[in-house]
């Protein structure tokens, strides 16, 4: 799952150190448009629906947090 | 009574602190609530009733939403999947209706007090356009202070209950305090229930540490407000009121001074607000993060009036750009034109709505709407051209984070902001456009001389005081930008150094603050919004 997510992120915005950064939103590595793409990609890839309430910086600041969100939404489904 | 006035600083606040500290933990939130209502009453009188109505509204509708959810849970017990889906849909529809009604009541109150006259003018324009001989005379009711701030907090509470992010609160007093807390009622920051309500209701004891930190922050806010913003008020007023007398250079100077004034005034007041919260052990959200170090306009808006920006993002931008229709558009476009331009259509519709609302939130006038669309256009252009700019950097082997390039990007952003503020401050859109045009057509550098500066009340000593104080704020901003917590650093210094810094700060404000008949304090700019 991690590798799939990294591949998606690399496609949306290449050249960012996704493995180590935990300020992807706070430091503007991912902007609002990237988030729109990312949400669409994640929903397709992992068969989840990401509600608007979950679109908060804390959930997208790092790969680990994104994985936690995906797992949570998969469990809820 | 305003936050920077002596009545607040040496009478109201210490009195509230004293009573708060003397009573028991459980009674403390009530002291804050009573103090808040007294504070608001001194500003708005009977218009306090709007706030009481907004409080009752979110209390009732929050409970209604929660009750509906509970009823749904009961109903779907022991049903099969398909039946559950049907029932859930039915209840979701009901909750949408409840939420809509709650927001409608809040919006009616704000519309009656802020937007009726503007709506009337626009209806008349439309009627004239279709040559219908009919005129409406609509006028605004008197607006209670801070209505835009607490209405947004109230809406966020209802939407968060609807989304299931928070549970509705049965405690009417807690909700009342969340909306009315006196330090933030006039100019924000716009709080979220989940971040501040519990903290407000805890009734923490005032500690020596919290009091020192709070007072420091208040003093720093006073420094920005009284030494810089208020000193700049007279020249800014003279330039903007007499725009027809001045050439381009002075008008540009006016726009620059106004931008500095607005930042120093608004962020200074927010420092006082956050500092006051700190005294009571209440952590209010930050509203500024060194905005003038931004490399582009999007970044600027994530550092300036942060709580308003995140409010728009959470309650307008994402709900629109991630709605069913938008998702469809984004998905089909992404496959055709890629990941960058795919979400651009949905993103642009949402962004346009956000900036229209942002403009109107600041005031019911065309120059505010223009101000919103000006920033919308700048962000949209950046969204469109960003890939090309990044390619350019790559081809030319330019590192956009390199010091010199970063400095150019920061200066470019600041120039865009200054022109935006010119329209924001201008008395009307028409005047704003005249001033903007003059900057480029009547730019005569020789008009900037001591005689003109003196006529604008910018005397030598004024400029020196403003310059030195700006330098202090600039150095503190650089330290903060580097991630250094300057206040913690000072707190670790030996006691004599610490108190020397505190005394110096207080004396600086007392000696160099703009008081007396020569100065006109800045009206609380954001309180009108």
If one counts every other C-beta atom within 10 angstroms of the C-beta of residue B19, the result is 15
Q: List, for residues B309-334, the tens digit of each pLDDT value.
A: 999 999 999 999 988 888 888 888 88
Whole-number Å distance between alpha carbons of B193 and B475: 34
In chain A, the residue whose alpha carbon lies closest to the alpha carbon of B328 is A40
CA distances from B497 to B165, B209, B221, B489 (A): 46, 17, 21, 11
Residue A58 sits at the chain B interface (C-beta within 8 Å): no
Residue B164 sits at the chain A interface (C-beta within 8 Å): yes
ipTM of the complex: 0.83
Model confidence at B514: pLDDT above 60? yes
CB contact under 8 A, B322 and A31: no
What pLDDT shows up at residue B109?
A: 93
Model confidence at B477: pLDDT above 90? yes
Q: List, for residues B420-446, the tens digit of each pLDDT value.
A: 999 999 999 999 999 999 999 988 888
Provide the percentage of residues in chain B whose pLDDT is more than 70. 97
pLDDT band at residue B416 using 50, 70 and 90 as cut-offs:
very high
Residue A52 sits at the chain B interface (C-beta within 8 Å): yes
Residue A76 sits at the chain B interface (C-beta within 8 Å): no
What pLDDT shows up at residue B122?
A: 86
Whole-number Å distance between alpha carbons of B292 and B304: 9
Give yes or no for a contact between B261 and B523, defined as CB atoms under 8 angstroms apart: no
Structural domains in chain A, sorted by start: 2-76 (1.10.1200.10)
Model confidence at B298: pLDDT above 60? yes
CB contact under 8 A, A51 and B347: no
- The torsion angles phi and psi of B375, rounded to 5 degrees, stand at -70, -35
Q: Which residues in chain B are closer than 8 Å to A28, comparing Cβ atoms? A: 298-299, 302
Of B322, B340, B346, nearest to A52 by CB-CB distance is B322
CB contact under 8 A, B165 and A31: no
Residue B406 sits at the chain A interface (C-beta within 8 Å): no
Whole-number Å distance between alpha carbons of B134 and B123: 10
Give yes or no for a contact between B117 and B138, defined as CB atoms under 8 angstroms apart: yes
CB contact under 8 A, B383 and A53: no
Q: Which residues in chain A are closer than 8 Å to B342, comparing Cβ atoms? A: 37, 40
CB contact under 8 A, B342 and A37: yes
What pLDDT shows up at residue B290?
A: 96
Whole-number Å distance between alpha carbons of B376 and B28: 44
Counted across chains A and B, CB pairs separated by less than 8 A come out at 54
Give yes or no for a contact between B146 and B165, defined as CB atoms under 8 angstroms apart: no
Q: Which residues in chain A are closer than 8 Å to B413, comparing Cβ atoms? A: none
CB contact under 8 A, B163 and A33: no
Query: What residue ranges do the domains of chain B occupy?
Result: 23-203, 206-292+448-529
Residue B85 sits at the chain A interface (C-beta within 8 Å): no
Which of B99, B295, B321 would you mutate first to test chain A, the one with the most A CBs within 10 A? Answer: B321
Average pLDDT over residues B406-413: 96
Model confidence at B145: pLDDT above 90? no
What pLDDT shows up at residue B191?
A: 93
What pLDDT shows up at residue B45?
A: 87
What pLDDT shows up at residue B488?
A: 86
Q: List, for residues B441-452, the tens digit of each pLDDT value.
A: 988 888 888 888
In chain B, the residue whose alpha carbon lies closest to the alpha carbon of A29 is B299
Residue A77 sits at the chain B interface (C-beta within 8 Å): no
Which of B290, B294, B339 would you mutate first to test chain A, the one with the most A CBs within 10 A? Answer: B339
Q: Lowest-pLDDT range, A11-15, A71-75, B65-69, B395-399?
A: A11-15
Report residue B429 as tokens: 């859109």
What pLDDT shows up at residue A77?
A: 63
CB contact under 8 A, A36 and B314: no
Q: Which residues in chain A are closer than 8 Å to B340, comparing Cβ atoms? A: 33, 37
Model confidence at B528: pLDDT above 70? no
What pLDDT shows up at residue A44?
A: 85
3-class secondary structure per residue, B62-80: HHHHHHHHHHHHHHHCCCC
Sequence-distant (6+) residues with CB within 8 A of B358 are B308, B312, B372, B375
Higher-scoring residue by pLDDT: B60, B128: B60
**What is the CA B152 to chain-centroid distance, rounded?**
11
Report residue B46 as tokens: 């009977």
Burial profile B126-135: b = 16 or more Cβ within 10 angstroms, e = fewer: eeeeeeeeee
Whole-number Å distance between alpha carbons of B263 and B185: 19
CB contact under 8 A, B318 and A51: no
Q: List, for residues B4-46, the tens digit of each pLDDT value.
A: 888 899 899 999 999 999 998 999 999 999 999 999 999 888 8
pLDDT band at residue B492 using 50, 70 and 90 as cut-offs:
confident
Model confidence at B307: pLDDT above 80? yes
Q: CA of A13, closest CA in chain B: separation in Å?
A: 9
Report residue B152 as tokens: 């947004």
What pLDDT shows up at residue B461?
A: 86
Give yes or no for a contact between B170 and B63, defined as CB atoms under 8 angstroms apart: yes
CB contact under 8 A, A36 and B343: yes
Average pLDDT over residues B109-116: 89
Q: List, for residues B47-98, the tens digit of each pLDDT value.
A: 899 999 999 999 999 999 999 999 998 888 888 888 888 898 899 999 999 9
Sequence-distant (6+) residues with CB within 8 A of A13 are A29, A30, A34
In a 13 Å sphere around the CA of B223, the CA atoms on its Cβ side amount to 24
Sequence-distant (6+) residues with CB within 8 A of B104 are none
Q: CA of A73, closest CA in chain B: separation in Å?
A: 14
What pLDDT shows up at residue B521?
A: 65
Average pLDDT, chain A: 88
Q: Which residues in chain B are closer than 8 Å to A17, comparing Cβ atoms? A: none
What pLDDT shows up at residue B78?
A: 80
What pLDDT shows up at residue B108?
A: 94
Q: Which residues in chain B are closer than 8 Å to A32, comparing Cβ atoms? A: 298, 313, 317, 321, 347, 351
Average pLDDT over residues B263-272: 95
Average pLDDT over residues B200-211: 93
- The torsion angles phi and psi of B282, rounded to 5 degrees, stand at -110, 125
Residue A33 sits at the chain B interface (C-beta within 8 Å): yes
Average pLDDT, chain B: 90
Residue A14 sits at the chain B interface (C-beta within 8 Å): no
Of B455, B419, B451, nearest in space to B438 by CA: B419
Residue B339 sits at the chain A interface (C-beta within 8 Å): yes
CB contact under 8 A, A53 and B334: no
């Amino acid at each position: 799952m991690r590798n799939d997510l990294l591949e998606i992120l690399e496609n949306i915005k290449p050249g960012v150190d996704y493995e180590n950064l935990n300020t992807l939103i706070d430091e503007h590595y991912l902007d609002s448009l990237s988030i729109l793409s990312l949400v669409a990609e994640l929903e397709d890839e992992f068969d989840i629906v990401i509600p608007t309430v979950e679109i908060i910086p804390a959930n997208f600041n790092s790969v680990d947090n994104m994985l936690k969100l995906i797992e949570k939404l998969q469990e809820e489904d | 009574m305003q936050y920077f006035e002596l009545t607040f600083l040496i009478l109201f606040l210490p009195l509230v602190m004293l009573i708060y500290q003397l009573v028991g933990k459980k009674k403390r939130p009530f002291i804050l609530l009573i103090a808040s209502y007294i504070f608001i009453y001194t500003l708005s009188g009977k218009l306090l009733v709007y706030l009481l109505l907004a409080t009752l509204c979110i209390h009732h509708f929050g409970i209604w939403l929660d009750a509906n959810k509970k009823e749904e849970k009961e109903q779907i017990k022991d049903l099969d999947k398909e039946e559950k889906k049907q029932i859930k849909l039915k209840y979701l529809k009901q909750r949408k209706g409840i939420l809509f009604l709650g927001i409608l009541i809040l919006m009616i109150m704000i519309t009656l007090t802020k937007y009726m006259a503007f709506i009337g003018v626009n209806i008349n324009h439309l009627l004239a356009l279709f040559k219908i001989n009919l005129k409406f005379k609509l006028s605004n009711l008197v607006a209670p202070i801070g209505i835009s701030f607490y209405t947004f907090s109230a809406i966020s509470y209802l939407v968060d209950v609807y989304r299931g992010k928070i549970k509705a609160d049965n405690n009417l007093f807690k909700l009342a305090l969340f909306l009315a807390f006196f330090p933030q009622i006039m100019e924000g920051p716009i709080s979220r229930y989940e971040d501040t309500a519990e903290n407000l209701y805890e009734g923490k004891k005032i500690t020596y540490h919290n009091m020192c930190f709070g007072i420091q922050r208040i003093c720093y806010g006073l420094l920005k407000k009284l030494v810089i913003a208020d000193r700049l008020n007279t020249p800014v007023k003279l330039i903007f009121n007499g725009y027809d007398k001045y050439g381009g250079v002075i008008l540009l100077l006016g726009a620059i001074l106004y931008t500095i004034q607005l930042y120093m005034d608004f962020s200074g007041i927010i420092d006082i607000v956050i500092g006051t919260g700190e005294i009571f052990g209440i952590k209010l959200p930050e509203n500024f993060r060194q905005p003038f170090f931004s490399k582009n306009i999007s970044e600027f808006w994530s550092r300036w009036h942060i709580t308003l920006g995140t409010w728009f993002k959470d309650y307008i931008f994402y709900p629109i750009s991630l709605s069913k229709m938008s998702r469809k558009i984004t998905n089909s476009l992404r496959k055709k034109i890629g990941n960058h331009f795919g979400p651009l259509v949905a993103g642009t519709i949402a962004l346009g709505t956000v900036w229209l609302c942002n403009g109107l939130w600041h005031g019911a006038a065309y120059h505010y709407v223009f101000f919103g669309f000006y920033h919308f256009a700048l962000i949209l252009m950046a969204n469109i051209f960003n890939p090309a700019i990044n390619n350019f950097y790559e081809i030319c082997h330019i590192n956009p984070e390199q010091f010199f390039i970063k400095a150019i990007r920061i200066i470019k952003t600041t120039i865009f902001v200054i022109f935006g503020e010119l329209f924001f401050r201008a008395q009307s859109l028409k005047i704003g456009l005249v001033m903007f045009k003059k900057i480029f057509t009547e730019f005569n550098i020789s008009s900037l001389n001591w005689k003109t500066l003196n006529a604008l009340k910018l005397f030598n000593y004024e400029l020196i005081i403003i310059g030195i104080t700006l330098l202090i704020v600039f150095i503190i901003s650089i330290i903060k930008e580097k991630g250094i917590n300057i206040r913690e650093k000072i707190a670790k210094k030996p006691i004599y150094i610490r108190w020397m810094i505190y005394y110096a700060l207080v004396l600086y404000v007392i000696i160099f603050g703009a008081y007396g008949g020569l100065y006109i304090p800045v009206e609380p700019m954001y309180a009108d919004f």
